[in-house]
Amino acid sequence: MGMAQAQARSGQRERAREHAQWLAAHLPQDDRGQQLALLRLWQRIDAPQEARALSQQLLQRHPGDTGVLLHAARLEQSQDRHGQALSHYQQALASAGTEPQERQAIEASIRSIEARRQSWVETGVMRIGKSATPGVSTLRGWQVPAVAWMPRGYDGHHFLHVDQLYLNAGALPSAAGDVASYGQVGAWPAPDYPAAPGTPRARGVNVGVGYRGSGLEWDLGLTGIGFPVTNVVGGIAYGQWREDFAYRVELSRRPLTGSLVSYAGAHDPVTGQVWGGVVATGVSARVSRPWGGSRVALSGSYAALQGRNVQDNTRAQLRASIDRDIWSSAHSALNLGAALSLWRHRRDLSEYSWGHGGYYSPRHYASLSVPLEWGGREGPLTWQVRGALSLSRSSSSGSDYYPGQPQLQASARALGLDPVYGESGSTGFGRSLRAAVEYQFSAAGAVGAMLSVERSAYYAPSQLMMYLRLLLEPVRAPHPDRPRPVQPYADF
């Protein structure tokens, strides 16, 4: 038994399985302790059928045995059969002794399962800010996300998302020459530019419904109802998480929210025509597993990027990361990691002229980041602070002001403009900070705040959110170990 357990811990599953099969044939059937050890071994080497078969045999041989019931409950819980697990825990509680610590542990397990049937509503107010070129790449505004979560048995929750948004890019310059690379301005004579070009802005609503839980997840919705461009979005994903291995695959269609043009779409100040409203439609996958005392992960994605009157594009991304806890106490932990990211876009459509999408899309991009995270819980208070330093390199070839629009290109040249963005390349350092804090003011409610700041050359977005969560008919479940800010539907 000792050798098999050592092989299982070191990842030698096949050799551990051979020993487990031998033990199953030779261990005394009435040796409860050894049979429970074998059950744990089957679980460790990821043999769910063998583990469940042995668990059923032990329940028949030792009915009402607290240890057997607890092992059976944990096995069922690990395989997402929460109803069966709850029944075993309740039987174990009824047959448990008077030891307070044991009863408290069983009661906590029961509450954690009952919490899976918890309903709640949450809402927040988020301030968005990104200082850049006024009227063009600046982005300021508010989001008010509101979500209702309704349980589906013990497996997961259906949700309804209704988010209100107000965005603006600041006032456009009054002179056409100052904004020649915006919309179609550079392709029209200066007198055609309006004397009062106004402020590009958008007000709208995002709506989505879906399901989040064990295994299969999905959502379907609309972003930008009331924006110049409204998009159908959604996704379907499947994943599993175990201590020794986790994976997730997803098909999705999501908005690009980095600018007013890419997110909401905008009206050209000369013609009034609309362009922008870009969505990424593609596939992504992620796998992770423990490695020594660390956890390693690899993720990748490929997407088609499309918007109204925006040239089509594609994006490929790859990310590898490793992290581990470098310090921990009874109430908090400090985690250090490293991540390498690689991107490639078919075209650079980062600009804001007609045919571009206003989203960051270098032809080639690589970055190395080192994040440090501290999080924990002290009574009703939870917190999480994550800072990161990064080094990145990007490069792009030249592109037309009006890609795929030869008539506009010719008009701009006829007006004396050279309508071409030159080749570019840069190397730089970046830094980011994300901090969240949440306070559980009663069994039925919590309030929290979240701040996110990123700083690098020509890129300085920030977000500040205050949020509230109210539980309906609250269960006395264990409190989460980290804050849970409301996630806007556009950020799924």
DSSP string, 107-136: HHHHHHHHGGG-EEEEEEEEEEEE-SSTTT
Query: What single-letter amino acid sits at 353?
Result: S
Query: How many residues does this entry show for the chain?
Result: 492
- Tens of pLDDT, residue by residue over 180-229, are 999 999 999 999 999 999 999 999 999 999 999 988 999 999 999 999 99
Higher pLDDT, 467 or 4: 467
Decide the pairing of beta strands 274-291 and 294-308. Answer: antiparallel
182-183 and 352-353 as β-strands: parallel, antiparallel, unpaired?
A: parallel
The tokens for 196 are 């009062």
Q: What's the CA gap between 6 and 26, in Å, rounded?
A: 19
Ordered by where they begin, the domains of the chain are: 2-116 (1.25.40.10), 119-491 (2.40.160.40)
With residues binned 3-state (H G I as helix, E B as strand, rest as coil), the percentages for the chain, rounded to 5, are: 25, 50, 25
pLDDT on residue 23: 83
Task: Decide if pLDDT at 398 tops 70.
Answer: yes
CA pair distance 143, 490, nearest whole angstrom: 10
Provide φ and ψ at 352, rounded to 5°. Answer: -120, 15
For the ranges 4-18, 66-80, 109-123, 288-302, the lowest mean pLDDT is seen at 4-18
Q: CA–CA separation, 465 vs 226, rounded Å?
A: 23
Range with lowest mean pLDDT among 70-79, 145-154, 336-345, 471-480? 471-480
Q: Which of these, 445, 438, 319, lies nearest to 385 by C-alpha position? A: 438
Least confident of 101-115, 359-373, 404-418, 456-470: 101-115
Q: What is the pTM of this model?
A: 0.90
Phi, psi values for residue 194, rounded to 5° = -65, 145
CB 51 within 8 A of CB 75: yes
Phi-psi region of 292 (alpha: psi -120 to 50; beta: other; left: phi over 0): left
Q: pLDDT at residue 25 above 90?
A: no
Q: State how far the Cα of 229 lies from the Cα of 219, in Å rounded to an integer.
A: 20
Torsion of CA 91, 92, 93, 97, to 10 degrees: 130
CB 401 within 8 A of CB 411: no
Q: Are 417 and 445 in contact (CB under 8 A)?
A: no
Structure token digits, residue 160: 């309804």
223-256 per-position pLDDT tens digit: 999 999 999 999 999 999 877 789 999 999 999 9
pLDDT given for residue 440 in this prediction: 95
Q: Are 482 and 132 in contact (CB under 8 A)?
A: no
Asked whether the beta carbons of 105 and 91 are under 8 A apart, the reply is: no
Name the DSSP class of 422. P
pLDDT at residue 433 greater than cutoff 80: yes
Band of the pLDDT at 383, cuts 50, 70, 90? very high
Cα angle 425, 429, 431 (rounded to 5 degrees) comes to: 135
Q: 379: how many CB neighbours lie within 10 A of its CB?
A: 9
pLDDT (0 to 100) of residue 93:
87
Q: Can you tell me whether residue 59 is helix, strand or coil?
A: helix
Mean pLDDT value of segment 20-45: 86
Gap between the Cα atoms of 233 and 489, Å rounded: 10
Q: What is the distance between the alpha carbons of residues 252 and 246, in angstroms, rounded to a whole number?
A: 20
The confidence score (pLDDT) of residue 4 equals 73
Side-chain-side CA neighbours of residue 480 (13 Å): 17
Percent residues over pLDDT 70 in the chain: 99
Residue 3 is inside which H or E element, if any? Answer: helix 2-9
pLDDT at position 97 over 80: no
Q: Is the model's pLDDT at 367 over the cut of 80?
A: yes
- Residues 6 or more apart from 10 whose CB is under 8 A from it? none
CA distances from 371 to 94, 293, 334, 388 (A): 47, 17, 11, 4
Pick the range with the lowest mean pLDDT from 79-93, 141-155, 417-431, 460-474: 79-93
Rounded Cα distance between 420 and 412, Å, is 10
Give me the residue label for tokens 């589906």: 152
Residue 47's pLDDT band (cuts 50, 70, 90): confident
In the 8-state DSSP scheme, what is residue 73? H
pLDDT at 40 over 90: no
CB atoms within 10 A of CB 105: 15
In whole angstroms, how far apart are CA 51 and each of 31, 42, 79, 137, 178? 16, 5, 11, 58, 71
